[in-house]
Amino acid sequence: MATVRKAFRAAFPRTLPVMAGYLVLGFGFGLLLESKGYGIGWAFIMSVMIYAGAMQYMAVDLLAGGASLISCALMTLLINARHLFYGLSLLDKYKGMGWKKPALIFQLTDETYSLVCVTEPPPGVDKGWFYLTISSLNHLYWIVGGMAGAAAGSLFGLNTAGVSFSMTALFVVIFTDQWLKNRNKLPAAVGVGVTLVCLLVFGPDRFIIPAMAGIALALVALKDKIPAGEAAP
């Protein structure tokens, strides 16, 4: 128990920046979900089981639009493909964690990944418990934020017309951030360009699968123009 308490005391302060972000973003997700008619129970289930920010915003659209299971799987595959990268770069760090390893892997998100990458446990603090506490606290913040958002939406009967713009804003922020960080702008340009063309050709109801295929093909074709290290997230 002393080991756990010590790890908690070392880990908790590190998670404070993520706490602020996850409570607010989670709140937005819960509000959006509730505005489409899915209550606090669904917010809880999704935040526990999926636990991926951008994907959950997207999932609200998939759920509300009655998307097929294949569409759900493909969309998830594309949006969360970056998790492959996270896993690959944590192979060594998470080695020998025993039963904690599956929990650490399941709770890997953008924010937890960047925190784990730059944070080492202080001397005398158990590495496994330290990372597990960070990961689980972040997960908890996300769940609480989502449930609070769904509750607020139903309790206060807010006029939520336009709240779905939070998803647009989220992706515009990520896009701007990556545009500033990545020296090679080609992948971002391919994503926007191919999708725009597919939207014009196939129309707003059936362009997304052609766009996914087009992007994958274009990126493979442009492999030599996007050298290693230039498009890292």
Partner 1 sequence: MSAGFTALQIAVIAAVTALLRFLPFLAFPPGRKTPPVIAYLSRALPPAVIGMLVIYCLKDTAPFAPPYALPEIISVALVVVTYLWKRSPLISIAGGTLCYMLLVQVVFV
Stretch 22-41 residues interacting with partner 1 (CB under 8 A) = 24-25, 28, 38
- Ranges within 162-221 binding partner 1 (CB under 8 A): 162-163, 165-179, 182, 187-192, 194-196, 199, 204, 207-208, 211-212, 215-216, 219-220
Alpha helices in 65-185 (DSSP H): 69-79, 82-90, 100-106, 110-118, 127-156, 165-181
Residue 134, interface with partner 1 (CB under 8 A)? no
Residue 228, interface with partner 1 (CB under 8 A)? yes
Please pick, from the candidates 81, 117, 201, 213, the single residue that binds partner 1 as defined by CB under 8 A.
81
Distance CA 159, CA 2 (A): 49
Give me the least distance between CB of 44 and partner 1, in Å please.
Answer: 11
The DSSP secondary-structure symbol of 231 reads S
Radius of gyration of the chain (CA): 19
Please check whether residue 31 is in contact with residue 149, taking contact to mean a CB–CB distance below 8 angstroms. Answer: yes
Please pick, from the candidates 13, 92, 98, 156, the single residue that binds partner 1 as defined by CB under 8 A.
92
Q: What tokens were used for 4?
A: 């756990």
Give me the least distance between CB of 140 and partner 1, in Å please.
Answer: 18
Please check whether residue 188 is in contact with residue 182, taking contact to mean a CB–CB distance below 8 angstroms. Answer: yes
Residue 17, interface with partner 1 (CB under 8 A)? no
Token look-up 């709140």 returns 27
Closer of 1 and 205 to partner 1 (Cβ): 205
Distance CA 199, CA 74 (A): 18
By CB under 8 A, how many residues form the interface with partner 1? 94
